[in-house]
Chain A
């Protein structure tokens, strides 16, 4: 076949794809395959992608690309294929190559940016999308990508500007209404909820919208519907920013409706998400065990000593136990991700408040030892633990962290010994604080991330804890310790709500909310006065 005839066939295949005539496109691609196997496979891959047969699309497109590394059609379509397969690392890897080969191709850039957004590479995504912004004739995907980038980078003004343009051109599209809701989620949750509901009117089954909406509902205290929507986070459409569960449990039955559990059979309760979320969710464990005594808790090894001490009758197994579940369906119901307990036992604010109690116990011997060492060595009467940064995701870190340089009004209190309870890399802050204060202690040789039991005993050895929102607050809260929780004006996890100075989840947490109108100094002076005055008075 001559080159121009092949080109004509390719144009026909493009036309068929453009008009969504997939069977015709497939027929033409068969012919193309006979003369140019790589090109034929690429077209077949695109058809498979359109038919949502993502495994076949991956297979065909990869083979096409392996046969001819310059097969741009295959390369470009591997990005959306991996996005659909929720394998964002591979989507980014092929996106890099495709972008290098076709830097001006808008759909390549949009897909590449979408993959980058999933991998939290906001600045890079912004760089890719910016050249494609046409203010006269904007593309909805470019705009929504830009809004997501700006929002995640805390560039509020730019996000708002893009949102105005998006609403002007595409205000009735589900995607844009949802983005508006996401943008409003932290600064105006009530308005955000309205937008989420409007978005769902356009696309009632949209899983990602329901998941995002659940976080706003929970923040607003609408626990009943909020926890129901929260279960959308378990679905693959939401991906790893939702509630991804260990692969070892695949193949077993995932239970989200507690009423379907047969109490005569065994049920695995699987810890999920960050360690702080796990502690929060375990607040209902005693009630769950009361209803379903035949429960095995699946948890990280580092958490095991605390759990075994706090729930002595409960079998606590590692994540490696997953295969026992799928192999023993006659004696095991399946597994419940512990976040899904909540909708049965915490469907209102009152449910939280009436069940607010101590449920995690520290190692008393370790606790006593820490107190003895800290008080004896320093001659101080009181110990105050502190932690200034938290969060796993970049965005959460930016929301939660209150830089150590702002804490001066706290540490000025020379009558108190402060103990760092901060996990992770702290060398810079340690150096900074050592140069300014003599009343701060660091426990060397205790890895807070690995030795959770030691860390827990240390925090429980403190008379007071002052901390930003991090796992520490949940552990200390669940142990009934006195905690002063510092929330920035950039938002906070839903469990701390929007107002009030006490926690609905734990017995003794005092919440200090920084107001936008307050300077950092004013905020910390206020905290110091409330938290440390109480220490002195005690």
Chain B
């Protein structure tokens, strides 16, 4: 149930509401559920319209981060958690041929995605070829000046977040995105963050990120 449904009778005509079953924000413009939202179009292609607001927001953040990528830049995605398949696929679909190369490394594998039509299937097939790369975790941060490293992990696994942040220390260009970082009891890896002089910004939607720009 959306939180907003529980409280709407007590509110005086809020002008914009963003709500799911965990959060409710009033008087804000929502750019993610509209017909012109690219995140929404992407998730619909894979039958994933019912994901949390956080995932809509993650896909949108990914799009915002990669929309200016052009050759000779190369993109390398390190997907540490299976549950981050949609964001990895979003990088592949939204960067497309605007990068000289896209490689994906998912040490724990990927989740199955439900491509709803032949165009979506084509995007998945291309993503799968990008997965067949020789990348390893040891490659994080070792690329040349044109290399952009993107790390995706999920806060439900503390070891994953720690290793992700630790690896991100070496990254010269790119970002790390941690799903569920703002969730109560999620690991914040304070020591790693402090020792690496990082700051993980936690968004209201729930995910955290830090960038190397």
Contacts and interface: CB of A to CB of B under 8 A. Distances in A.
A404 interface: no
Given A317-B45, A323-B63, A324-B96, A246 B122 contact: no
Interface secondary structure of B, over-half rule: helix
Contacts of B120: 315
B111 interface: no
Contacts of B38: 248, 320-324
B92 to A, nearest CB: 10
Interface in B32-54: 34-42, 44-45
A301 interface: yes
A446 interface: no
A324 B45 CA distance: 12
Contact of A301 (B35, B94, B116, B126): B35
Nearest to B45: A317
Interface in B16-37: 34-37
A331 B119 CA distance: 10
A328 interface: yes
B114 interface: no
A296 B126 CA distance: 18
A294 B122 CA distance: 11
Nearest to A295: B119
A327 B71 CA distance: 12
A319 interface: yes
Contacts of A318: 35-37, 40-41, 44
Interface in A296-345: 296, 300-301, 315, 317-324, 327-331
A319 B35 contact: yes
A246 B96 CA distance: 21
A135 to B, nearest CB: 50
Given A266-B122, A323-B67, A331-B122, A317 B41 contact: yes
B14 interface: no
B122 A320 contact: no
Contacts of A296: 117, 119
A115 B42 CA distance: 39
A300 B93 contact: no
A340 B157 CA distance: 53
Contact of A328 (B35, B36, B40, B96): B96
Interface residues of A, number: 21
Contacts of A294: 118-119
B98 interface: yes
A315 B116 CA distance: 8
Interface string B115-132: 011111010001000000
Given A296-B119, A300-B35, A301-B35, A320 B96 contact: no
Q: Which bracket fits the contact residues of B?
A: 20 to 34
Nearest to A316: B117
Contacts of A328: 93, 96-97
B41 A327 contact: no
Which of A248, A266, A301, A318 lies at the interface centre, i.e. has the most chain B CB atoms within 10 A of its CB?
Answer: A318
B40 to A, nearest CB: 6
A324 B42 CA distance: 9
A323 B95 CA distance: 9
Given A327-B94, A327-B98, A330-B97, A320 B118 contact: no
Which of B36, B40, B93, B119 lies at the interface centre, i.e. has the most chain A CB atoms within 10 A of its CB?
Answer: B119
Nearest to B99: A327
A266 B96 CA distance: 14
A301 B38 CA distance: 14
Contact of A327 (B37, B97, B118, B119): B97
Which of B37, B44, B95, B96 lies at the interface centre, i.e. has the most chain A CB atoms within 10 A of its CB?
Answer: B96
A489 B36 CA distance: 39
A317 B36 contact: no
Contact of A266 (B44, B95, B119): B119
A320 B98 contact: no
Which of A266, A296, A324 lies at the interface centre, i.e. has the most chain B CB atoms within 10 A of its CB?
Answer: A324
A249 to B, nearest CB: 11
Nearest to B39: A320
Given A294-B118, A315-B119, A321-B38, A329 B97 contact: yes
A317 B44 contact: yes
Contacts of A317: 41, 44-45, 119
Interface string A267-309: 0000000000000000000000000001010001100000000
Contacts of B45: 317, 321
Contacts of A321: 38, 41, 45
Contacts of A327: 93-98
A266 B119 CA distance: 8
Nearest to A330: B97
Interface in A158-181: none
Given A266-B122, A315-B117, A315-B118, A320 B97 contact: no
Given A319-B36, A331-B96, 16 more contacts: A266-B119, A266-B122, A300-B35, A317-B119, A318-B37, A319-B35, A320-B34, A320-B39, A320-B40, A323-B67, A323-B94, A327-B95, A328-B96, A330-B96, A330-B97, A331-B97
Chain A to chain B: the 9 pairs with minimum beta-carbon distance, closest first: A327-B96, A315-B117, A320-B41, A328-B96, A330-B97, A321-B41, A320-B38, A320-B37, A318-B35
30 contacts: A246-B36, A266-B122, A294-B119, A296-B117, A296-B119, A300-B35, A301-B35, A315-B116, A315-B117, A315-B119, A315-B120, A317-B41, A318-B35, A318-B36, A318-B37, A319-B36, A319-B41, A320-B34, A320-B37, A320-B41, A321-B41, A321-B45, A323-B38, A323-B94, A324-B94, A327-B93, A327-B95, A328-B93, A329-B97, A330-B97
